[in-house]
Amino acid sequence: MTRRAIVAANWKMNGNLTLVNDMVTGFSDISLAENVDVVICPSFPYLSEFSRAVEAKQLPSNVYLGSQNVSEQQSGAFTGEVSTSMLKEFSVSYVIVGHSERRSLYKETSTLVAHKVKAALEAGVTPILCIGESESERATEQTETVLASQLQPVIDEVGIEAFANLVVAYEPVWAIGTGKTASSEMAQETHQFIRQFLAQSNEEVAAKVPLLYGGSVNATNSEELFAQADIDGGLIGGASLKVEQFKAICLAAKGK
C-alpha cells in the first residue's frame, strides 16, 4: 500500500504579497521526500501571484496551489462566491471544504459541504474535506458520532469510490489556533476510526485515502504526529505563515 503524504498550508485571512514572495523563494529549492506533496492555500487575492510562480516553474512539481473555499455553484448571481472554473484558471489543484470556521461562523451544513465536494471533484480539483468535533463534543464522548455525521453526507453525495480522489483532514476544533494539540496517540486513535468508518463502505478505498491532522501542528510535534500509522500529513494554520517553520513541517512528512 502506498499513500501520499500531504502537508497543506491554510493561511486563513492572513498574509500579504511579501509572504507570497518569501514562500515562493523558500520553497523554490526544497527537497521533499519522494512521496510527499505540499499545498499552499492563500486568500483569494494572492492566488494569481502563486499561479504565476507555478506556471513559471519557480516551485517544485510537488508543490501545489490550493484554495480555502469554493462555491457549489458554477456561475450566476452569487455575490462574493468563487467557482471551480475560476479557480482552475489560476492553477488551483486543491480546495479546502468544510473547514470548522466555515461550518461554525458561516453555518455551512454537511449537506452543503457535500455539494462543494461534488463540484470540486467534477472539475478535477482535489477536495480537502475537513471534519472535526468541538471540545464539548469530545468531553461528552461524541467524537465518533460527529465525525460519522460529517462524512456520511459526502459518501451519500459522491459515493465512496470518489474518496480515492479526495483528502480528509481531521481538525479537532478545540485544538485549532489554541496551542492545544491532541497527543499523538489520541490523534492516531481518531484517524484510525475515520479510516475504519470509510472501510465499512469500501476497504480498498479507505486504505488509500490520505488523512491529515489539523490542530496546532508545528515544527516540534509534526514528526511524531506524522509517524502515526493513519496520519498522512497535516493541515497547518498559524505555523504555515512562518516560512522556515512550515518548511520544517513539510520535511517531517515521509509518506507511507
Residues marked active site are found at 99, 171
Interatomic CA distance for residues 15 and 40, integer angstroms: 12
Pairing of strands 211-213, 167-170: parallel
Interatomic CA distance for residues 188 and 250, integer angstroms: 19
Listed in sequence order, the residues at least 6 apart from 249 whose beta carbon sits closer than 8 Å to its beta carbon are 7, 217, 218, 219, 222, 234, 236, 239, 240
**How many Cβ atoms from other residues are within 10 Å of residue 136's Cβ?**
10
Answer whether 234's CB lies under 8 Å from 254's CB. Answer: no
Answer whether 231's CB lies under 8 Å from 210's CB. Answer: no
Binding residues for substrate: 10-12, 177, 216, 237-238
**How many Cβ atoms from other residues are within 10 Å of residue 158's Cβ?**
20
For residue 95, report the phi and psi dihedrals to the nearest 5 degrees: -145, 135
Q: What is the DSSP letter of 132?
A: -
